[in-house]
Each structure stands twice: as structure tokens, then as C-alpha cells.
Structure 1
Amino acid sequence: MFTPAVPLGGYLGWRVFQNSADRQFEIFQKSPQIIRNMEHFRENIAEADTAEKLVDDRKLLTVALGAFGLEEEINKKAFIRKILEEGTDDSSSFANRLSDPRWRQFAKAFGYGNFTGANVGVPSFREQVANDYLERSFEVSVGEVDPNMRLAMNFRREIAAIANSATVEESGWFQIMGQKPLRAVMEGALGLPSSIGSADIDKQKDLFARKAEQIFGGKSPAVFKDPLKVEDALRRFFVQSEIQGGPTASTPGAGALSLLTGQGGGALSPNSIVNLFISNTL
């Protein structure tokens, strides 16, 4: 399997990687395992006319889940089957109740539990899933060398889709908060601690919106329609990641940081952290 070249970390490394990413992707897509998986999917997915058949074929499921960034969930067969069989037409279906919108996208795309039925026999659907699997598999490969690079690649693609969606005003922040990879980058870009994830969901949304307005000039994720804002978010994410990896007990402000992040005694609760950040943005 091809191993991507990521010679430098941090934002500088990200900029350097961009110069060779297309060429590296061309080499990666010739990897024997990737070719075999995609060929198997194209040749056999039409026969998987039920969710049970898809889940029982590990090679098919590898591509299906990988196309949505869900490859790590492949061993949860009963969970996956339930999501697929209930579909998304019913607002109370399993996929619609999950916080991670990728499951809803996955169930809707395959269509097993929906009124219109499965899409596995549609040639354009097969090609789209196979191509998405290829793209995300490259990101996985990059992530094995540098996890932050994978997060950045995923963010650049997914944030654009959210920013340009018709529901961005109503559900944009919830979509970001529901996807761990997206959330990790956004928290870094906004300078927020990951511990706020345990706070009240509406308080979290309010905090994300306030910080986004302060830093990027808009409360809505629609602000990321601008590619320059996306790049600025990635720059801030990489810088924040380097900062978090570096402070020691002698670093100025380390005492306050330990209170916020829970290192040592007397840590603030998630809701207290949210309230503190909100108060500083008013």
C-alpha cells in the first residue's frame, strides 16, 4: 500500500503537502487493495438488494462505509443493518435520531428502508460511492502519517458542503458538532477546549456561533462559503494543535489552562467553561 509523503507537520507542512497532494493521489489510486475493493463493489453491489446482503459482504461494506468516513464502524453489523433497514423517511428512524449526520447520509444514499427503495442498481450511484471511497481512503492513508492532515482534508470538503446547504442556518452548527472530525478542527480554529462537548447542546451552539462571529465575521457556518475563511480556519487549527502539544508547567498561563482542561484538581465543569467563553465574547 502506498504511503503518502508528509515531510513536515503543522500549517507549514499542510501548505507543502498541498503542492504534491494531486500527484500522490494519482499514485495512491493504483494501490492493488484499493483497486480490488472498488472492482468488487462495482461488480457486486447491484446484487445486494437488501441491507442484510450488504452487511454480510465485508468487501462491499468496506467500500460503502468508507465512502462516508465510517470505516471504523465496520464490525457493528447489527447497528449498521438497523440504520439501513429503517431508512430516513420516518423522522423517528434510528439514523435520524443519531447525532452524527453521516449515518443519516449513509442510510439515505443506499435507500434500503425508504419508500423509493435501494439505489444499488443505479450505475451513477455505484460510481459515486466508489469514487467517494477512493477519496476518503486516500485521506485515511494520509492520516496514518499525520492525523491532523486527514482532519484538515476532511474539513475542507465537508465544511463547504455544510456552508452551501439549504439548511445551514437551522442545522449547520449541529452538523459540525455531531461529526467528531469536523468538530475537532472547528474547536481548534475557534480556540475552544474539547471538554465543552459535555455541556448543554444549545449552549455549545451559542458559543460556536459567538466565537465564529468574533473570529470569522459571521455567526453562521455559511461564512465558510469563502475559501479564504476555510483556509484561515485550518491555519488556526494547526497553530492551536501545536500550542496544545507544547505547553509545560513553566509556560505562562499554564495554571489557568490546567483549570480549564481539567489537569489537576479544581477543574471547571463543561458548562462553566462555556459560560466563561461566552462572557468573554460579549
Structure 2
Amino acid sequence: MTFQPVVPFSGYSGWLFLERTGESQQQAFNESVPVKRITDAFRERIGTIQTAEDLMKDRELLSVALGAFGLDDDINNTFFIQKILEEGTSDPEALANRLADPRYANLSEAFGFGTGLTLTGLSFFADDIIDRYEARQFEKAVGQQNNDLRLALNVDPALDDLLDTNSTNDGRWFGMMGNAPLREVFQTALGFPSSFATLDLDKQLEQFKERAESTFGTSDMGEIASAEKQEDLIRLFLLRSEASSAAIGSTSIALTLLQQI
């Protein structure tokens, strides 16, 4: 039976509940039969994978590798993923570096195929990837009940990856804009409409930083990644998202009543 997280509330109340119970729920999720089966298989066989092509041939291991970085939907894009892994990230022109979404660069760096120094046989490698996989899949399970809470759970690891991948503050902001789940949190929390994404990227960067400065007292992504600022970001995201949903629901009810009249 598939593990189902307990999420009795939506919005910020749901987030506070997950903060209190998340550790025990994550542990129960990790020990559920489907998760344990696939993570045990990954731990047993990943050391035999020496090339990106080897990984493409083992769909079960590939699903863990992609799932660890929130890239589950790319499971059938094997040619694309193989190229990402084989080119690595040391060359600025490598495919992973030319993509807006930094998760591909994180994936490529984690496996190391592009450096000629494959990391899959190292003693810590399997556990590191499995830890990421379990966390992302727990988020996914939460998202089946409430996607806003899934996005909130993703904020901390996504910001960690963002700081690791980009050395400049502007680079981190551009990385956030390229990471669709993280961007949705920032855009909603800072009060931008969905049409904001159609603006020129440099204009978006300017406005994101200005709004962050007025909201959080800083536009430094490193400071926003602190525990205190993250909590502010998540609280604003959940409150504004819930308010928006309530407004849409009220409008829908009003239209239905008018149609009946």
C-alpha cells in the first residue's frame, strides 16, 4: 500500500503541522514497501554504473537519480539526460549550463560522468542520492493532497542547490527564475501576477530584487536562504496563495448564482 502523508490542514496551518510531524512522517515514508524496494535496489546496483549510458539502460536506477532532483518527468527523455550527464558542467557551453533550470546542473555534478571521475562507486554516493530521493518523493506525496505544501517543502533544498550552483547574487536570482517550483513560491510570496513572467528577464530580476528588499529587508539570496527568512517566504507564499484561491472560489460562486438568476 502506498504511504499517504497526513495533511489535515491547508495553507500556513498545514505547514505548521508538517513542521511538527514532518520528521516522523518522512521516516514512515522511507520505510514504506515501495520506497524501500527501489532505494534498496539503487544502493545495491549503483556502484556497477560507470557511464551515463549504463544509467540510461537501468530504468529503476534512473528513476531514483531523476527523482532525487525533482526531474521525474524526464524519465523518458533518455537522450537528453544522457547528454546532460556526459557533458558535465565544467564547460560553460555544456548543455546543463545553458539551461535556465539549475536542477540539471545539480544532477550532472552529483554523478560526475562529465569529469571522467565517476562518483557512483564512492561509499557515500548511494546514501546521498537516496536521501535526496526520499525527501523529493515525500514532497511529491504531500503534493498529491496539497501542491502548495509540496512547493513549501521544496524551498529549503532548492535554495541550498541554488547557492551551491551559483556564486553571484544575480546568478542565484536567475537560477531561481529558471527553477519553476521555486519561482512559483517567490513570485506568489512577493505578490507578482502570473503575467510577470512575460517581462524581459533583466526587468524581472530588477523587480524581484526590489520587492525582496522591501519585503524581507534584503535582496541577497544568501540571506533569504536563512531559516528565518525562509519561514517568512513560505508564510507569505501560503497565505497569499490561499487568499487567491479563496477569491477565485468566491468569484466562481458569484458567477454560478448570477447564471441561475
Same-fold status (TM-score > 0.5): yes
SS at match of 1:128: helix
Corresponding position: 1:78 with 2:110: no
Give the drift of 1:161: 5.0
Query: Is 2:133 the counterpart of 1:111?
Result: no
For 1:169, the equivalent position in structure 2 comes to 169
Q: CA deviation at 1:30?
A: 1.0
Tell me, yes or no, if the aligned pair for 2:156 and 2:225 is still in contact at 8 Å.
Answer: no
Deviations 1:82-119 (A, max 9, x none): 111111121111111111011011111111122x4211
Residue in structure 1 matched with residue 193 of structure 2 by the alignment? 193
CA offset at residue 168 of structure 1?
4.4
Matches of residues 31-110 of structure 1 in structure 2 within 5 Å? 31-110=32-111
Give the C-alpha shift of residue 201 in structure 1: 0.9
Per-residue deviation, 1:157: 2.8
Indicate the SS of the match to 1:218: coil
Contact map agreement 1:88 1:108 (CA 8 A) in 2: yes
Once the two structures are overlaid, the 10-residue window that deviates more, 105-114 or 206-215, is 105-114
Give the aligned residue type for 1:187: Q
What TM-score does the superposition give when structure 2 sets the normalisation length? 0.90
Q: Is the 8 A contact 2:102 2:162 kept in 1?
A: no
Question: CA 1:73–1:6 in 2, change beyond 3 Å: closer, same or farther?
Answer: same
Q: How many residues align?
A: 250
Q: Kindly provide the amino acid, as one letter, of the partner of residue 118 in structure 2.
A: A
Gaps of 5+ in 2: 252-261
Q: How does 1:127-276 map to 2 (within 5 A)?
A: 127-162=127-162, 167-247=167-247
Change over 3 Å in CA distance of 1:169–1:36 after alignment to 2:
same
Distance 1:248 1:28 in 2: 34
Give the SS at the match of 1:100: coil
Q: For residues 191-238 of structure 1, what are the alpha-carbon distances to aligned partners after superposition, in whole Å with 9 as ceiling and x for unaligned? A: 011222222111111110000001101122122143222111111101
Q: Give 3-state SS (helix, strand or coil) of 2:113's partner.
A: coil
Separation in structure 2 between the aligned mates of residue 250 and residue 82 of structure 1, nearest angstrom? 48
Aligned counterparts of 1:226 and 1:88: Cα–Cα separation in 2: 27
Give structure 1 stretches of 5+ with no counterpart.
252-282
Deviation at 1:149, TM superposition (A): 0.8
1:28 pairs with 2:44: no
CA distance in structure 2 between the partners assigned to 1:220 and 1:80 by the alignment: 32
Deviation at 1:166, TM superposition (A): 7.0
Is the Cα–Cα contact under 8 Å of residues 160 and 224 in structure 1 kept in the other structure?
Answer: no
Structure 2 residue identity aligned to 1:105? N
- The answer to whether the 8 A contact 1:151-1:181 is kept is yes
Task: Indicate if the aligned counterparts of 2:46 and 2:61 stay in contact, CA closer than 8 A.
Answer: yes
* Deviation at residue 129 of structure 1 after TM alignment: 0.7
Q: Is the contact made by 2:218 and 2:224 (CA closer than 8 Å) also made in structure 1?
A: no
Instruction: Return the alpha-carbon distance in structure 2 between the equivalents of residues 163 and 122 of structure 1.
Output: 24
CA distance in 2, matches of 1:146, 1:244: 15
How far the C-alpha of 1:47 sits from its partner, in A, is 1.5
Distance 1:144 1:89, change over 3 A: same
TM-score of the pair, normalised by structure 1: 0.83
Describe the SS at the equivalent of 1:113.
helix
Give the Cα separation in 1 of the matches to 2:249 and 2:67.
41
What do residues 112-137 of structure 1 show as CA deviations (whole Å, max 9, x unaligned)?
A: 122x4211111211221111111111
Q: SS where residue 123 of structure 1 aligns?
A: coil
CA gap 1:46/1:27 in 2 versus in 1, 3 angstroms: same
Corresponding position of 1:268: none
Deviations along 1:122-176, whole A, 9 cap, x unmatched?
Answer: 1211221111111111111111111111100101332255458771424110111
